[in-house]
Every structure is written in structure tokens, then in C-alpha cells.
Amino acid sequence: MDDIDVFEFHEAFAGQIMANLKAMDSDWFAQTYMGRKSKVGTPPMEKFNSWGGSLSLGHPFGATGCRLVTTAAHRLQKEGGQYALVAACAAGGQGHAMIVEAYPQ
């Protein structure tokens, strides 16, 4: 978590994001469902969708991934970060995620 400078998540269903953040911050959930000894932890909220998210910036069906990656790249450039974590939900419980790395200047 400490290596990520920018978090850009698609949160069309904000309740799902809140539930996942709570699970990520739970030792019980990590031990019971993830086979981990301790929790993953949550991203610092000051790094999380700080320019707005899919609800406030718009959720262009079929273009959400492009919006997420573009926002993450611009944030990395403007904020001087190196890594961004981009994630989005998809139909039927699917989803995707990727790490974006800023090219050194």
C-alpha cells in the first residue's frame, strides 16, 4: 500500500467499495477468507479518487477504463507520483485492476 501514490477506483456501487475497504482493514476477514495472518489495510483516503470518482466525473459506459487510466496518469504527473493502482468493477461480480507506472523524466 505504501508504494502506491494514486488510487483510482470505479465505484458505481459505492456500498461495494465501502464493504471492500472494511474487509481489507479486518484481521478476521484476512484470516478467515484470504488465508493471511493479518489485514491488507486500506489506502490512505487522501490518495483515493482525489479528483472525484466515476459518479462525480461521469461513468461513460464502455469508456470507464480509459477514464480511470487517464485520470491516474494525469494525477501521477501532476502530483509527482510513480505508481497508480486502477481498479473497476464489471458485470456479474467480475472486475479488473492494473498498476500504472510513471515513466521517469
Condensed to tens digits (0 to 9), the pLDDT of residues 37-89 reads 999 999 999 999 999 877 777 666 678 888 899 999 999 999 999 999 998 88
CB-side neighbour CA atoms (13 Å) of 101? 3
83, part of any domain: yes
60, part of any domain: yes
Q: Which amino acid is at 46?
A: E
**∠96-100-105 over CA atoms, to 5°?**
170
Q: What is the CATH number of the domain that holds 85?
A: 3.40.47.10
**Residue 22 pLDDT class (50, 70, 90 cuts):** very high
26, part of any domain: no
Task: Specify the pLDDT at position 96.
Answer: 85
The CA distance from 31 to 37, in Å, is 6
39, part of any domain: no
- Report how many domains make up the chain: 1
Provide the domain limits for residue 61: 6-13+44-101
68, part of any domain: yes
Whole-structure pTM value: 0.84
75, part of any domain: yes
35, part of any domain: no
Task: Specify the pLDDT at position 24.
Answer: 94
- pLDDT: is 68 or 95 the higher one? 68
36, part of any domain: no
